[in-house]
Amino acid sequence: MSEYKFTEPVLTVKDLVVKFNLRGQVLTAIRGISMDLYKGESLAIVGESGSGKSVFTKTFMGLLDNNGWIDSGAIEYGGYDLTAFKTERDWLKLRGKRIAMVFQDPMTSLNPLKTVGKQVQEAFTLHNKVSKEEARRRTIQLLDDVGIPEPERRYKQYPHEFSGGMRQRVVIAIAMACVPEILICDEPTTALDVTIQAQILELLKQLQARYGLTVIYITHDLGVVANVADRIAVMYAGDIIEIGRSEEVFYDPRHPYTWALLSSLPQLGVKGEDLLAIQGTPPNLFQEIRGDAFAPRNPQALKADFVARPPYFEVSPTHKARTWLLDPRAPDLAPPAHIRHLRTLRRGGIEHAT
Partner 1 sequence: MFKYVGKRLLASTVTLFIILTTVFVLMRQMPIEGYFDNFDKVDQAVINAKLDQLGLRDTMPVQLKNFYTGLLRGDLGVSNRYRTGAPIAEIIASKAPISIQMGLLSMAVSLLLGIPLGAKMARSKSKLWDKLGTGFIVFINAVPAAVYYIYLQSFGSKALDIPMLFNPASPLSWVLPVFSMSLGSIAYYAMWLRRYMVDELNKDYVKLARAKGVPGQDITMKHVFRNAFVPMIQYIPSSLLFTISGSIYIESLYSIPGMGGLLVDVITRQDNTMVQALVMLYASIGIIGMLLGDLLMVLIDPRISFAKREGVR
Residues at the site binding partner 1, with contacts judged by CB under 8 A: 61, 63, 88, 92, 94-97, 100-101, 103, 105, 108-114, 122-123, 126-127, 157-158, 160-163, 166, 171, 174-175, 177
Question: Regarding beta strands 68-77 and 9-22, do their DSSP bridges make them parallel or antiparallel, or are they unpaired?
Answer: antiparallel
What does each C-alpha distance from 200 to 58, 162, 233, 250 come to in angstroms?
22, 15, 22, 23
CB of 109 to partner 1, least distance (A): 4
Give 66 or 344: the residue with its C-beta nearer to partner 1.
Answer: 66
Give 177 or 301: the residue with its C-beta nearer to partner 1.
Answer: 177
CB of 111 to partner 1, least distance (A): 4
Residue pair 110/167 in contact (Cβ under 8 Å)? The answer is: yes
Give 175 or 321: the residue with its C-beta nearer to partner 1.
Answer: 175
Residue pair 115/50 in contact (Cβ under 8 Å)? The answer is: no
CB of 91 to partner 1, least distance (A): 8
Give 200 or 301: the residue with its C-beta nearer to partner 1.
Answer: 200
Give 163 or 316: the residue with its C-beta nearer to partner 1.
Answer: 163
CB of 160 to partner 1, least distance (A): 5
CB of 182 to partner 1, least distance (A): 12
CB of 128 to partner 1, least distance (A): 11
Give 127 or 338: the residue with its C-beta nearer to partner 1.
Answer: 127
CB of 150 to partner 1, least distance (A): 10
Give 96 or 282: the residue with its C-beta nearer to partner 1.
Answer: 96
CB of 136 to partner 1, least distance (A): 17
Give 127 or 297: the residue with its C-beta nearer to partner 1.
Answer: 127
Give 76 or 122: the residue with its C-beta nearer to partner 1.
Answer: 122
CB of 217 to partner 1, least distance (A): 16
3-state secondary structure the chain: CCCCCCCCEEEEEEEEEEEEEECCEEEEEEEEEEEEEECCCEEEEECCCCCCHHHHHHCCCCCCCCCEEEEEEEEEECCEEHHHCCCHHHHHCCECCCEEEECCCCCCCCCCCCCHHHHHHHHHHHHCCCCHHHHHHHHHHHHHHCCCCCHHHHHCCCHHHCCHHHHHHHHHHHHHCCCCCEEEEECCCCCCCHHHHHHHHHHHHHHHHHHCCEEEEEECCHHHHHHHCCEEEEEECCEEEEEEEHHHHHHCCCCHHHHHHHHCCHHHCCCCCCCCCCCCCCCCCCCCCCCCCCHHHCCCCCHHHHHCCCCCEEEECCEEECCHHHCCCCCCCCCCHHHHHHHHHHHHHHHHHC
